[in-house]
Amino acid sequence: MKTLLSCGFASTLLATVPMAQAQTTPDQLTGDWTVVTLVTDTADGRIEPFGPTPLGYVSFGPGGHFSAQFMRPDIPKVAANNRLKASTEENVAIAQGSISFFGRWTLVDAESGEVGLRVLGSSYPNWIGSDQKRFIKVAGDSMTLINPTSPAAGKSMVTLTRVR
C-alpha cells in the first residue's frame, strides 16, 4: 500500500511540475512537408484562403534554402490552354488562389521555434527582398507553422506532415 501511495504521489508531482519546452532543431525542420490545413485569423474572422483542402509543399534544405507553395485545389483551368492568354477572371482566380515563394532560412531561436526567412522570390511581389519570421514546432512527422503577418491580413496557422 505504501508503494502504491508513493507511486501515486510521484505521478501527481510529475504531472504538476512544468516540463521543459521542447526545442526546435534544424534537423527537425530539414526536409519536405505537405500541407494538411491552412487557416488565417483576420479582423473579420477565420478564413481558409486556399479552401478546406489546400494543396502545398514546404521544403527546408539542409544548406539553408527553402521553398513554399500553397494553392486551392479548385483553381480554374485556363480556357486558352496558354498561361500567357488567360482571361482577367482566370488570372484573378489564379493569383488569389495560390502563392509561392523561396529563399534562405535560419533557425533564430530554438526555444520559441522562430525561423527567419529571407524571401528572394515570390508570386506575391510585396514579399520579394523581405525578411520574415515564422514560428515552427515539430513533433515527430507533424509540423505547425505560424505566420504572424500573413498576406491575407491576419495570422496564419499551417499544419503539415513530413513527406516520406
Residue 124: give its domain's CATH number. Answer: 2.40.128.280
pLDDT tops 50 at residue 48 = yes
Compute the average pLDDT of residues 37-44.
94
Q: At 1, is the pLDDT very low, low, confident or very high (cuts 50, 70, 90)? A: very low
Query: Could you give the 3-state DSSP secondary structure of residue 48?
Result: coil
Tell whether 69 is covered by a domain.
yes
Tell whether 129 is covered by a domain.
yes
Tell whether 115 is covered by a domain.
yes
Counted domains in the chain:
1
Cβ contact 32:11 at 8 Å: no
How far apart CA 119 and CA 149 sit, in angstroms, is 14
Tell whether 9 is covered by a domain.
no
How far apart CA 78 and CA 85 sit, in angstroms, is 8
Full residue range of the structural domain in which residue 101 is found? 22-162
Write out the three cell numbers for 151.
498576406
Q: CA gyration radius for the chain? A: 20
Residue whose entry in the numeric block shows the C-alpha cell 527553402: 66
Tell whether 28 is covered by a domain.
yes
Cβ contact 163:31 at 8 Å: yes
pLDDT given for residue 152 in this prediction: 74
Tell whether 14 is covered by a domain.
no
Tell whether 133 is covered by a domain.
yes
Tell whether 66 is covered by a domain.
yes
The whole-chain average pLDDT of the chain stands at 88
